[in-house]
Chains A and B, each alone.
Chain A
Amino acid sequence: MATYSTNEFKGGLKIMLDGDPYTIVENEFVKPGKGQAFNRVKVRNLKTGRTIEKTFKSGESVEAADVIDITLQYLYTDGEYWHFMDQESFEQYQADETAVRDAIKWIKEQDVCSVTLWNGSPLTVEAPNFVTLEITDTDPGLKGDTSGGGGKPATLETGAVVRVPLFVQIGEVIKVDTRKGEYVSRAKED
């Protein structure tokens, strides 16, 4: 079992706490003049995304979390699992609904995603920052309005709903910023 001493603590280090993998967000070393030192750390739970504060006695060891980030291509879903492939080794991974929760409304087959693996299994899947998706449903809007002001909801081929300018119509392909969930521009089809 790999461990880290508190002396090795720094932002980004992955550790195990109460059975869950965490990443260290902030590490503060506290040394009272007349007392034993301790580390006050902010850690983010990699499963839930929640950030909490923990305090360790300095010099103690903590179990390391076997967590790595890799790039995988999304293949398909069988309804229960979402299947991904390493484009170099062709190794395949299956992610459950929890892992793809935040990404699923943005990605379609063949998209390349950043995936965090914990003990070799996908823990979280991140959608690419920008995706291009076709609009499957939106109100026709006002003809001739090209100002981009106002806006209306549009449903995309993956099921996501974003606000688009009034002039954008069903069947058009648009570029979306997945981090904000916002329309960026019309996209030209390849």
Chain B
Amino acid sequence: MSWQPAASQQMLRKRAGLLARVRDYFRREEVLEVETPIMSRYGNPDPAINSFRTDSDQHPEQYLHTSPEFPMKRLLASRSGSIYQICKVFREEETGRYHNPEFTMLEWYRIGFDHYQLMDDVEAMIIELLPNLMAFERHTFQTLFKNHVGLDPLEATLEELSAKAESLGVVLPEQVERDWLLDVLFDLSVGDWLKQSGGVFVYNYPASMASLAQISPQDSRVAERFELYIDGIELANGFHELQDAAEQKTRFEKDLASREAQGMDQPPIDQDFLDALAVGLPDCSGVALGLDRLLMLQTGAEHIKEVIAFPG
């Protein structure tokens, strides 16, 4: 009977409870709840993410957001103070155990925090929600990669990374990209350890994987980005946010060039976001967290379908 919800009544109550507790945390922390548009004239240029498009007579060629990041940063630039949002986001990608094309994201920004302080904040909130977890471990990407892969991700050549990947059964594509190799080697070599390690923050990613994070002032080889894994599940991704509008524009253009090289569409760059950065984004850190996955961890659900009333 396909009309019926995939999630149980009990699960739907737990989902409501989780949302209430998240909102309660931010109320106590005096972080403001905001809403930003789900639909936009601008898409996400990130070559690893594909947007859904909508079309109508009055509003041709709109994109469903893949994260509320750009408009939330416009709020920050307008002196909103620390803010959070719980919203549905949309990513055109395969469905799987941890993926649904439409999912619930919790995204928040803390004014004056660097990525270390934001990790403290994330940990405090999650320990409140998942009290059985031990204190989280913190390791740099470089340390974990060196220990488990046996190569320095910041210094190894493309040839060394490729040879290591092949020895682990990776079938190299015609165009081998360094970041893809780093991701694959990390997953193949560190993945099993992460599964047994509870909560682990991985931080200071190679600069090439910066996304929207600042480059570290202490070491230009790394970006001030972190990921949180719990029992090996990628739960949250955070940045000490890039404030430099020119640098942001360069990264967008690089993203679009990479999309073009792969024959992907070219979504228009969000000029409002770049304008806001040019005026000035306050020093802040932000993080996006998958609430469906958090609910899976809380309830022991095996598949994301078990925690969503009507999965796609």
Contact = CB atoms under 8 A, between A and B. Distances in A.
A30 interface: yes
B234 A55 contact: no
Contact of B173 (A31, A40, A57): A57
B307 to A, nearest CB: 18
Q: A34, A37, A53 — which one has the most chain B CB atoms within 10 A of its CB?
A: A34
Contact of A33 (B47, B94, B177, B227): B227
A53 B169 contact: yes
Interface string A46-63: 000000111111101010
Contacts of A60: 171, 173
Contact of A34 (B168, B169, B184, B237): B237
B187 A30 contact: yes
A20 to B, nearest CB: 13
A34 B99 contact: no
A36 B179 contact: yes
B48 A35 contact: yes
Contacts of B48: 32, 34-37
A38 B180 CA distance: 9
A166 B93 CA distance: 63
B246 interface: no
Contact of B183 (A17, A36, A56): A36
A38 B169 CA distance: 13
Contacts of B170: 54-56
Contact of A55 (B93, B168, B211): B168
B171 A34 contact: no
B180 A33 contact: no
Interface in B259-293: 288
Interface of B is mostly: mixed
B209 interface: yes
A37 B46 contact: no
Interface residues on chain B, size class? 20 to 34
Contact of A54 (B94, B169, B237): B169
A29 B94 contact: yes
Contacts, number: 65
B180 A55 contact: no
B234 to A, nearest CB: 6
A175 B99 CA distance: 50
Contacts of A62: 171
A52 B170 CA distance: 11
A38 B168 CA distance: 14
B99 A31 contact: yes
A32 B187 contact: yes
A185 interface: no
A37 B96 CA distance: 12
Contact of A52 (B169, B177, B184, B288): B169
A53 B183 CA distance: 17
B225 to A, nearest CB: 8
A33 to B, nearest CB: 5
A53 B189 CA distance: 13
Interface in A123-155: none
B161 interface: no
B183 A38 contact: yes
A17 B288 CA distance: 39
Contacts of A58: 94
B179 A7 contact: no
26 contacts: A29-B96, A30-B187, A31-B93, A31-B99, A32-B48, A32-B187, A33-B237, A34-B209, A34-B237, A35-B183, A36-B47, A36-B179, A36-B180, A36-B183, A38-B180, A38-B184, A40-B187, A40-B188, A54-B169, A54-B171, A55-B168, A55-B184, A56-B170, A56-B173, A57-B171, A57-B180
Given A31-B99, A36-B177, 6 more contacts: A35-B48, A35-B179, A36-B179, A40-B188, A52-B169, A55-B184
Please list the 3 inter-chain residue pairs (A to B) with the smallest Cβ-Cβ separation, ordered nearest first: A35-B183, A57-B173, A55-B170
Interface of A: 7, 17, 29-38, 40, 52-58, 60, 62
Interface of B: 46-48, 93-94, 96, 99, 165, 168-171, 173, 177, 179-180, 183-184, 187-188, 209, 211, 227, 234, 237, 288
